[in-house]
A and B are shown apart, each in its own frame.
Chain A
Amino acid sequence: MNFDLTEERQMLQDSLRRFLRDNQEALRASTRLGNAENSLGFDAGIWTKLAELGVIGALFSEEEGGFAGAGFDLTTVFEELGRAGAVEPLLDTAILGGGLIAALGNDAQKELVEQVIGGEVHLALAHGEPNSRYDLAQVETTAKAEGDDIILTGRKAVVINAEAADYLIVSARESGATGDEEGISLFLVPRDSAGLTLRGYALLAGGRAAEVDLDGLRLSANARLGTSGAAYAALKRASNRAEVALAAETLGAMEAATEMTREYLLTRQQFGRPIGSFQALQHRMATLLIELEQARSAVINAAGHLETSAEEQALQISAARNLVGRAGRLVAEESIQLHGGIAMTEEYELAHIAKRIVMADHRFGDTDTQLERFIDQSAA
């Protein structure tokens, strides 16, 4: 049993932490609400440097063209991103987009993975729909063959990083009924394709997303990733990896929130003494620290089981995200409460961190959905 990071991961953590700390100002500038000057939703210069640092490559295996890619590599990177409140779309371009192309793409398509690792290409997964909520198999968008072409019709909801993406990976149904795992295909769609319309907007917790309309979008059949109707397993694997990464990001944000709160309790004076000297507040701080360590262990559990059986993965990931969802909400709300009004202001870093924590619960399944998945998996 060993819970230390390997030397490589320790180096990755150190260099990424240092880089993010040194670039705090640029990171924060790009996360301000409704930041009109930044149509990307993140800082392009930081993205390039993350690629140079090898941070993107660390999310892919050697076989895929990267140099790491295991569960604990993902958590090492995303915990740091979470601590810094970074909104750079590594989850969307690398874990989801790059991961799916690496899993399903042919040799020509896989060249994009190399460009992703080099920081040259951005991707977005256009999968969720207005009625799909958190169900991965709920795909109503259709892909109809017309000669050698494929025609995509449908609507994709809250597609994160869509505007910055060079390609969207669009899921559509080639056969079966809505809700079937069979019949779902993925297509590589250039963002400027005719028949594809984006309606972009900022996200409350930073970054940008778009509603994507597919109005009879015509593609050549070789835009398909993998074989027809068989993309579900790859989607599931990519979303599992994304959920582990997201849980780690939230853990990092919870660390930042508790550190800021601890600092504040020690310095803020009311009634002639630091508010951290009041026992009622001391106990609440203690509770946050206890829950933080619970969250850390839950993330370790999930990351450590990323290469195990589908059943074990499902159990561990739903457990981690349920726990992180609960503990995260507590940490976000209590950190704001213990700070008082100051943490309610947009310019105070904790406000952004709290939004990152809480809004993460709205991707891939919220706390309750994870609980249901855990119950289903335990009963199976």
Chain B
Amino acid sequence: MDLNYSVEEQAFRAEVQEFLAQKLPKEMSEAIRLGRELGKEGHEKWHAILNEQGWLAPNWPQEFGGCEWNAVQRHIFEEECCRAHAPRIVPFGLAMLAPVLQKFGSKAQQDHYLPRILSGEDWWCQGYSEPGAGSDLASLKTRAVREGDHYVVNGQKTWTTLGQHANWIFCLVRTDPDAKQQSGISFLLIDMDTPGIEVRPIILLDGTHEVNEVWFTDVKVPVENLVGEENKGWTYAKYLLTHERTNIAGVGFSRAGLDAVKRMASSQMHRGKPLSENAHFAARVARAEIDLMAMSTTNLRIISRAAAGQAPGVESSMLKVKGTEIRQEINDLARRAAGAYAMPFVSEALEGANEPDMGPEGSAAAAPQYFNNRKLSIFGGSNEVQKNIIAKVKLGGGA
């Protein structure tokens, strides 16, 4: 048992810190710190900066142009990025599609798509969820029918994150309607410019446009856009879910969030003293911090096992549940700290035009983030589904 990072790991951390200090644009970290939206150009700019450094794809093997960092290095990188208020790496192409292509895609697909993900030429979005297939993803209904050298796709996807920026979508579609649920599904790559595709915005409860509905009407997709074998798509999607769940615990986000709460609480007066000195508020913050300290070590325990080549089991489900609970609690604390200034809906503030004297720093984003992050326990396999997985493994039987 040794809680310290190795000398190499510490050197790596210093290198990451140095890079962020030099290359992360100030206006970008400021926007992230205040909870503002970055927009497509902002994300693309950050990706380009990382790509120039060769750090855009921490999880990819070197043969494809990635860093091939182990789990500990990736953790250090993510932790430092959060601490510096760097934008998150948009994961759909880099972290979700790419591992599937690298494992199951054809050589032609790898050669064509992977460099375009790194260069930013393609922005991918994920076409999994459907209105009737959420937690029960395998019940998806979007149909792909083979007609000569094309599939014809009909159906609807939903909760498509940042689909409004995407020019490509990777989809799970049903190719064999007669097969048992999971076995009739295929994994298709679809050009968003193909006729018959319509993207409709979904405005979330905090007023943001980050998800979309994507409708497919007689969309022709060349058969060479099938990944792997027909009707094996579920296997590929599951591979993704079990092998590439980095940063599932969101430790870095929680830590940055907790720092923001503390800053706000020390600037807010409550009964003639800073709120940070109020016993009830301080107790809430302390509880969240204690939980986070332990969870962060749970995270490292799993990461160091993963770095040693062991696949995570139910622990990743545990991390997802606990990690999202802690993040949501911290969002709740930020909302409380903001007091009456949590109430305004100042959409301009989220886009960077806040006038300087409206409430304490960070207050404009506090309640919108609290509501927006209710999604954390719903998406990526809801926390109920995660608990089913834990219960099934530990108790057996039908969960």
Please report A residues at the B interface, Cβ cutoff 8 Å.
Answer: 33-34, 128, 130-131, 133-135, 138, 157-158, 179, 199, 201-205, 209, 211, 269-272, 280-281, 329, 333, 336-337, 340-341, 343-348, 351-352, 354-355, 358-359, 361-363, 366-369, 371-372
Contact = CB atoms under 8 A, between A and B. Distances in A.
B379 A204 contact: no
A130 B359 contact: yes
Contacts of B367: 204, 358-359, 362
B397 to A, nearest CB: 14
24 contacts: A34-B347, A133-B270, A134-B339, A134-B340, A138-B272, A157-B340, A158-B344, A199-B358, A204-B206, A272-B139, A280-B387, A281-B384, A337-B378, A344-B375, A344-B378, A345-B203, A346-B205, A347-B203, A358-B371, A359-B343, A362-B340, A362-B343, A366-B336, A369-B270
Contacts of B344: 158, 201-204, 209
| 4 nearest A-B pairs in the assembled complex, by CB-CB distance | A351-B205, A270-B136, A204-B345, A346-B203
Interface stretch (B86-94, B127-135, B251-259): B127-135
Given A344-B374, A355-B371, A133 B203 contact: no
B347 to A, nearest CB: 6
Contacts of A131: 269
B340 A363 contact: yes
A319 to B, nearest CB: 16
Interface of chain A: mostly helix, strand, loop or mixed: mixed
B122 to A, nearest CB: 26
B213 to A, nearest CB: 10
Interface string B71-103: 000000000000000000000000000000000
B136 to A, nearest CB: 4
Nearest to B206: A204
B203 A203 contact: no
Contacts of B204: 344-346
Contact of A158 (B203, B280, B281, B340): B340
Contacts of A363: 340, 343
A130 B135 CA distance: 44
B206 to A, nearest CB: 7
B272 A179 contact: yes
Nearest to A275: B135
B201 to A, nearest CB: 10
B271 interface: yes
A202 B139 CA distance: 40
Interface string B336-357: 1011111111110000000101
Contacts of A272: 139
A372 B207 contact: no
B268 A133 contact: yes
Contact of B343 (A203, A269, A351): A203
Contacts of B377: 337
B368 A204 contact: yes
Contacts of A372: 271, 280
Contact of A345 (B202, B284, B357): B202
Nearest to A158: B340
Interface in B229-285: 268-272, 275, 278, 280-281, 284
Contacts of A362: 335, 338-340, 342-343, 367
B370 interface: yes
Contacts of A130: 357, 359
B46 interface: no
A133 B205 contact: no
B339 A355 contact: no
A337 B374 contact: yes
B345 A340 contact: no
Given A340-B378, A346-B204, A371-B280, A128 B340 contact: yes
Contacts of A352: 205
Contacts of B371: 204, 351, 354-355, 358
A209 B342 CA distance: 12
Given A340-B134, A340-B382, A371-B280, A359 B342 contact: yes
A58 to B, nearest CB: 27
B159 interface: yes
A211 B358 contact: yes
B375 to A, nearest CB: 6
A134 B204 CA distance: 30
Given A34-B207, A131-B269, A280-B384, A341 B129 contact: yes
Nearest to A278: B384
Contacts of A354: 205, 371
A130 B255 CA distance: 27
Contacts of B284: 368
A177 B204 CA distance: 45
Given A135-B271, A199-B358, A362-B340, 16 more contacts: A128-B340, A133-B268, A133-B339, A133-B340, A134-B339, A138-B269, A158-B344, A203-B344, A204-B345, A280-B384, A281-B384, A337-B377, A341-B134, A351-B371, A358-B335, A368-B278
Contacts of A343: 205
Interface string B312-341: 000000000000000010001001101111
A348 B131 CA distance: 14
A338 to B, nearest CB: 9
Contacts of A348: 205
A131 B355 CA distance: 18
Contacts of A133: 268-271, 275, 339-340
A243 to B, nearest CB: 14
A270 B339 contact: no
A178 to B, nearest CB: 9
Contacts of B270: 133-135, 369
Nearest to B348: A201
A131 B335 CA distance: 16
Contacts of A337: 374, 377-378, 382-383
Nearest to A375: B280
Contacts of B346: 201
Contacts of B335: 358, 362
Contacts of A369: 270
Nearest to A131: B269
A34 B349 CA distance: 13
Given A135-B271, A341-B375, A34 B345 contact: yes
A324 to B, nearest CB: 15
Interface string B366-399: 0110111011011100111001000000000000
Contacts of B374: 333, 336-337, 344
A185 B339 CA distance: 24
Given A346-B207, A355-B205, A340 B340 contact: no
Contacts of B134: 270, 340-341
Contacts of B387: 280
